[in-house]
Structure 1
Amino acid sequence: MQSLPVDLLVEVLLGLYLGLLTGIVPAFVAGSLGFLVRYFTGVTLPGFGVVVLALSIASVQGGLLGLVEPTITQSPRLLVAVLVVLMLALYAHNQGDKLGSELPRRLSLTRLRQRTLSADVVELVGSVGQVSVRPTGEIRDMEGYPPLSADLRRDLKAGSWRLPADIPLSELESRLEERLRTDHDLADVDVAIDQRGRATIVAAPPSGALSRRVPTGQRAVSVTTLVPTGLARGDDVTVRDGDRSIAGTVLSARTAVDDEHTASAVPDESAADVATDGGDAASAMADAKPSAATAGGQGRVTIAVARRDVSAVLEAESPRLVVRSRGTSREFEAFALVKREGYAIHRFTVGATGPDDETSELDDPASAADVTILAVRRQGSETGGRRHGWVFGPGIERRLEPGDEAFVAGPERVTEAFVEEIAR
């Protein structure tokens, strides 16, 4: 009489063991069918069907086991094993059905690259959303290039860049890469931004910065002369020596006043004693990027001139530097004329729903027709999520698609309504 509880406990444990052993295959089949039916049809597989299917599969395994041990059908372990098999099958079916309902129906690499930032990190500046992108982790060296200097690595680590928040992450990465190349003269850079606005940066140090700025077919020549105040890289100048004038483009400029400012970056002797990894203390304290414009005075200027003019510039005894005018910016003149006529220009990204036939049917269809698409930039899968160049004046035959970036112009009220309708 006292051995009955022990025998019952043994039967329950054996039932659990047999149920787990036998229920693996029915649970896998039930979970797979639940996922496939829900994903492709949107209908949940009935629980009764799952029970019948699980018992049918388990009966095959149990029948084979019964041939070996016929007495199993009269023992309590069979009931426990059946209950375990049914619970495993129903649980797997429930998880497969949930996965089928949550997984996106249309998943592509282009769609993944169009992910945007989380709403928690977006800052509203007026009516425009912006995000402050900051680096996360260490600034890694790019394979195949020399390692970054300590100063450049520190500047990148402490950097923060404000970018628009209403564009895909792939476009944010492209813009940040271009800004880093411009600000730090990097030879190459690769940036990955997550939905929290954190950037992982892999960069290569500047390599041959001067030679990369010399146009093809020209040569870089340095002259000592009186440098105009405000002269900066990219200015068009003319070197005059007597009756001869030679046109060129400024690549770099340095004056004595600039050197004094650099030396004043070391506040005292204790700071000057700081050990560096090469060069003097003054150059270590200076910024990695040279100042945008010179302070003027006597100094040296490196300019790019045609190959035939190199000897004439080097032989000049007292060269004079004259800065040539570039004229008025035609882009600002065009915007001023558009503004003067009461029109507005908006830049936006087409929303996920895209435009439809009723997009232009606003409060006044005749006024909506006044909205003109000036330029469109499309994102294609063949370029790995990168955007193509701008297409100007696309015309009505180029239909806007979700993810397109466009400039439109028209009456201010109608244009604002048009942008709100398409960008939603």
Structure 2
Amino acid sequence: MTANGDTLREAFTAGPPSPVTFEEPTAALINLVVYAVLSVVATGGLAVAYRWYFKQTVPEGVSGFIGVSVVALYINTTSLGVAVSNVSVDLFEPGVVFFNVVALSVAAVAAPVGRRLGDAVSSNLFSLAGLREFEGEVGTVVRSAGRVTTITLPDEIADMESYDPVTDETKAELAGKTLLFPRRLTVDELRSRLIERLKEDHAVGYVDVDVTANGTVEFLAVGSRAAGIGATIAPGSVAVAIRADPPNNASPGDTVQVWTTEETPERLTTGELRGVAGDTVTLAIDDDDAKLLSPTEEYRLLTMPAEPQADREFATLLRSVDETMGTVTIDAGSELVGLTPRALNATVVAIRPDGEKLMALPDRDRGFEAGETIYGLGRPDVLRGLEERAKAGGAEDAESETDEPAAS
């Protein structure tokens, strides 16, 4: 008892521990393992909190900063305890500095591990516990073998036509991945939650998927949302950058007139202000007016009164929902010949007869003819089913073309 008491007394009176160096390999290895675990725990907890609050994966830079900061704070706290104690230690000794640099490097390497573990745990946990309860027998319930419904994504993931493709890394990460969902979901509910998971967890812009009553994914295609100014330029318009003195309080979206700066000013064109950087102004103007402007000349802009921009508001809204625009050309012998826009699940916003001008908002009781191009608005799977029906002898996609309205 006396020996044990002396040992405890020495431990409590020895003061703070001395800084660790590689002169003691065992102690150095133990401390590095502790720092790695500390970084993993900190970044994992951050990933869970970030997923819960923002519904997104925490950025790599933020998680790496937190993982390194936690270890650095621990090292600084320990060093401060040594500095104020009676122990005489040179904190700037090369061996101490070298060990601290290695410790921070280990924390930086361990941070991505904690980020991935925390995000993987939180995505499945919140999917099971944080979603709305099932209400009533609305449709066919997906058959589940256990307490949860498991969905395994196919090994081959296609690209959606007319959309920017996602990266190969994202498709490789999705291929064969198994996701967990609550049981007792209808096919439509499971499909909606699967699309939501893919968009939130993997930053996928568009998803086209077919899910059976057994919870099997028969088809999966993904696409990314168009980014940049090009996606918002209407046909027949171009974006140009000119040197100009932007009018006071002008902001992107304002309608402006472009005038020369000569003694007798002349109005050259009217466009939409898209961006300002110093004296460089980006405008969206008609294609034919682009030749009137010079990249070396300086112009003066005049702001026009505000006007409703319902078309632009609709385009902005369309980019944020599942529905999208697609075109389908009707083959001779297609089952769509003779049908009307009223008979389709997709919303027909325009028809272009073969060799003729575009007809916007056609009569809903007008019959389709072979060779016509349909401009439809609907979910990607609805448009895909419409493409199949437009082919000669194409069969109707039973799930895509139902009597239910497209989900918004």
Q: TM-score band (shorter)?
A: under 0.3
Computing the radius of gyration over CA atoms, which structure comes out larger, 1 or 2? 1
Structure ranking higher on relative contact order (CA contacts 8 Å, 6+ apart): 1
More helix by share: 1
